[in-house]
Amino acid sequence: MAGEKVAVIGGGISGLCTALALQRKGIRAEVYERNKTADMPDSGMILGGNALICLELLGLSPAMSECSLGTNEYNIKADSGKLISTLKYSSPALATCFRFFSGIDFLRILAGSLAPGTLHYGKKLADFKQHKNGVRLYFRDGTMEECTYMIACDGCHSTVRSRVISGHKPVFSGYTCWRGILEHDKDLGECAFSETWGPRGRFGIVPLPGNRLYWYAVKNSEGHSEAMAKWTSIDLLFNFFYYHDPIQQILERVKDEEILNHDLYEFKPISRFLYNHILLLGDAAHSSIPNIGQGASQAIEDAVMLANTLAESESLEEGFLSYSEHRPGHLRKVSSTIKNFGKVAQIEMPALCTIRNNLLRLAPTSFHSRRLGDIFEIHPCRLSSSM
């Protein structure tokens, strides 16, 4: 593998983790990010146990623990505030089941952990051409780069994927989401990690360090709605007006200009991720709804699994082929579990909400633990610390 270069397109969580995992294995990897700086609107992040194991293997746990909070419990509540269920999972490999971050803090640590000079900003991919020995990349700033393999980490709306798989486009998932970060002086009480499920949608509360909290709201929608895209804090407050405290108090303090609104997209699973010298990874390969902390978590797991597979292979070619052959099957199972979780959470009919809540209360703790274990338990080989 000496002298071979891997180019990672996209400097988000997926791209930075991938480059870092490859560098930890001694593979030359460089990141090309379209934005000119790392500045972006801040939002919260939830990572599940599988991602936390991967961060430990990357040697990032100490730095990540300093800028995050963790818990082993995920409380699901009814709109009245009554507890429906508490999802718990314990494992010798996990100190905590979930951990919560500011997105900007998380990206800053990832970027700072890369080898110097391997993260390039202002590199918007204009074109690429595959040839016998690799890929030639052309950027909008007029520069060109050569690489042995290109890894597309450019998200759900990946321009690379649209080129290598003709006609494969993301579709609207049926959900739209609002989210933001709020500072408070603890007068909202102890805000533990929870989701509230009710006929008017789902509302999440996530504690962050420094007397901050991350909040999010998810509602069903038949398609992109211009009206809902313009919702302000008043509209959200009206929608969730009878939900339990402190949801109303949170929305009363939200500043309209700090609300991030997104329609959530997904796409039909694909059977392979490798197309000659181009690999799809993260949301570019398997976009799914970010339930149970799995939005970014699966991308982080992808990065570590790819790095381990390459390190165990005789060549990059063998490693990329092996990853593309074995990874999609596992991801299809996880995506199915995550999607079904979302369908249950987003039930709107009051009578069905009552039935759902009662059934979840009757389910034994072991049932929920097994579901989380199917997602969280991974067994990658320990990464080398060598660069």
- Token pair 């999609």: residue: 328
Distance CA 143, CA 163 (A): 20
For tokens 């200009």, what's the residue?
A: 257
Using an 8 Å Cβ cutoff, are 156 and 170 in contact? yes
At 156, the pLDDT band (50, 70, 90 cuts) reads very high
Lowest mean pLDDT among 40-44, 47-51, 329-333: 40-44
- For the CA atoms of 265, 331, 132, 28, what is the dihedral angle to 10 degrees? 100
Residue pair 151/8 in contact by the 8 Å Cβ criterion:
yes
Instruction: Enter the DSSP assignment of 91.
Output: B
Distance CA 259, CA 216 (A): 9
Place 2 in a pLDDT band, splitting at 50, 70 and 90: low
State yes or no: pLDDT of 379 exceeds 60.
no
**Looking at the whole model, is its pTM more than 0.85?**
yes
268 has pLDDT over 50? yes
* Distance, CA of 302 to CA of 322 (rounded, Å): 13
pLDDT (average), residues 240-266: 94
d(CA 69, CA 101): 7
